[in-house]
Amino acid sequence: MSRWTRAAFAVLPLVALAAMAFGILRYSDRFSLIEVPDVEELSIQRTTLKPNEIRLDVVNDGPDPITIAQVMVDDAYWKFDMKPADGRLASRGHGEVTIWYPWVEGETHEIVLVSRNGVTFPTTIEVALESPSPSWKSFRYFALLGVLIGVIPVGLGLLMYPVVRDLSDRWLRFLLAFTVGLLLFLGLDTVKEGLELAEDLPGFYQGTELVFGVGLLIFFLLVGLGQTRLSRSGAASSGIMLAFMIALGIGLHNMGEGLAVGSAYVMGKVGVGTALVLGFTLHNITEGLAIVVPLTKKSGALKYLLGFGALAGIPTIAGTLIGGFTYSTFWALIFFSVAAGAIFQVVYIIARSSAIRSSSGDIILVENFLGLFLGLAVMYGTGLLVVV
């Protein structure tokens, strides 16, 4: 068989499949024995409030076109503008609904979009607050919020380095297992956040599959890269490399956390006060400790602490800024998925490289189990203090 013949046999099934798919989509209405009504689904992705104006970003999440015919605010029909101008959204089409309404700051407002066929799509503004516009004041506010919930807690955890450095090997094994417990809880929490975001995405994005798919992709990618780097770096610098990967995973998680906090504030879902700041500080201070533990017994490790702390904490500031000004549910989900993959990769590396056998040959030592349990318990306990 010639090369051209093999190429033809390879291309022919693809051409036939494409032609069949086109025919199904083009003439799908002829396959039904009865007339089926349009399936209308609408996803409201973002709400923006300006003086006397409410703007909704919407996506047609159904297989059929949908036309927005009316808008109700607090049980009254109200004037609105639509992009596109005719109000018709194709399947997976994006649109913008602008409602000219004198909303009241601090009040709750109920909005219902009504399609031409009478299907309703409700949404609620829990606490009406004007959406921040890019300005030096709002920039400072969101940056300060990121510092309070991310940078400072990580920095406080790094201050434990002098104490941890002088501990015995048994205590270090305990703290390493404690670190695994911290990261394991952090990874599970990250997956939970991603799955919650998946529920808010239009169905055609396949949010749940995206969370696990991106997370597994990053996990296997980093496992391969991490194993290569650890083997090349040798025992002398493996602890530094491990601390770097921990800081990277925590930083990605904190960026996702900042996205959620910034966007929640804009939508009036976060009370920024002492309880919130204290809760995140106590919850995230253990992240700095997780970075410190692999650096013990490493000469010259102190010079890496500042850089690793910045890598873990500063992304929180970026997250709050993005969440406050240009929040996107899709990209927030991607960040959380990447963070989950990175965190579980670090858990895998630590568990594999630090399996210490006792004299009887058992891998699970008492200090390992207690450290793992305490790490999970601490993250759970401090998580109860986070008021969102």
CA angle 380, 386, 388 (to 5 degrees): 130
Asked if omega into 84 is within 30° of 0 (cis), the reply is yes
Measured in whole angstroms, the distance separating CA 30 from the mean position of its chain's CA atoms is 43
Specify the pLDDT at position 226.
62
CB-based burial of residue 83 (10 Å sphere; 0-12 exposed, 13-18 middle, 19+ buried)? middle
Specify the pLDDT at position 339.
81
Specify the pairing of strand 76-77 against strand 94-99: unpaired
Specify the pLDDT at position 324.
78
98: part of which helix (H) or strand (E)? strand 94-99
Question: Would you state the CATH architecture of domain 42-125?
Answer: Sandwich (2.60)
CB-based burial of residue 336 (10 Å sphere; 0-12 exposed, 13-18 middle, 19+ buried)? buried
DSSP state at residue 293: G
DSSP state at residue 63: S
Specify the pLDDT at position 114.
93
Token pair recorded at residue 229: 């780097």
Question: Closest Cα to residue 150, out of 339, 297, 349, 344?
Answer: 339
Dihedral sign computed on CA atoms, order 191, 192, 195, 201 = negative
**Per-domain boundaries in the chain:** 42-125, 136-383
Question: Closest Cα to residue 305, out of 323, 290, 327?
Answer: 290
Specify the pLDDT at position 230.
55
Token pair recorded at residue 326: 């240009």
pLDDT by residue, tens only, the chain of 388 residues: 677 777 777 778 878 877 887 776 666 555 555 555 567 888 888 888 889 999 999 999 888 889 999 999 998 999 999 999 888 898 889 999 999 999 998 888 999 999 998 899 999 888 787 877 777 888 888 888 888 888 888 888 888 888 877 777 777 778 778 878 888 888 888 888 889 888 888 888 888 999 999 999 988 887 777 666 555 555 445 678 778 888 888 888 788 778 777 776 666 554 444 445 555 666 677 778 778 877 776 666 677 888 888 998 899 899 888 887 877 788 888 888 888 888 888 788 777 665 544 444 445 566 677 888 888 888 787 666 655 5
Interacting residues of 29 by C-beta distance below 8 A, sequence separation 6+: none
DSSP state at residue 295: G
Interacting residues of 301 by C-beta distance below 8 A, sequence separation 6+: 161, 239, 240, 243, 295
The percent helix, strand, coil of the chain (3-state, each to 5) is 60, 15, 25
Specify the pLDDT at position 357.
43
Specify the pLDDT at position 365.
63
For 125, phi then psi, to 5°, come to -95, 105
Specify the pLDDT at position 9.
72
For 315, phi then psi, to 5°, come to -55, -25
Question: Closest Cα to residue 304, out of 291, 285, 318?
Answer: 291
Whole-structure pTM value = 0.71
Question: Closest Cα to residue 82, out of 63, 95, 65?
Answer: 95
- Rounded distance, CA 298 to CA 151, Å? 24
Specify the pLDDT at position 121.
93
Measured in whole angstroms, the distance separating CA 252 from the mean position of its chain's CA atoms is 9
